[in-house]
Amino acid sequence: MNNIQVSINALEASKCVESRAYTNAQGEEINIQELKFDLIPVREENQKTIYTHEKFTLVKTHAAVVKQSAEQRQAKEQRVFIGDGISQIWKNDNIKNPSTAVKASESPFTFSS
Tell me the per-residue pLDDT of 18-33, one tens digit each, with 9 for 90 and over. Answer: 899 999 999 999 999 9
- The answer to whether 39 and 89 are in contact (CB under 8 A) is no
Phi-psi region for residue 78, left (φ > 0), alpha (ψ -120 to 50) or beta? Answer: beta
Q: How far is CA 14 from CA 31, 43, 65, 72, 104, in A?
A: 17, 27, 12, 19, 17
The residues with which 73 forms a beta bridge, in sequence order, are none
Question: What are the pLDDT digits (tens) for 44-103?
Answer: 999 999 999 888 889 999 999 988 889 999 999 998 889 999 998 888 755 454 444 444
Question: Is the pTM higher than 0.85?
Answer: no
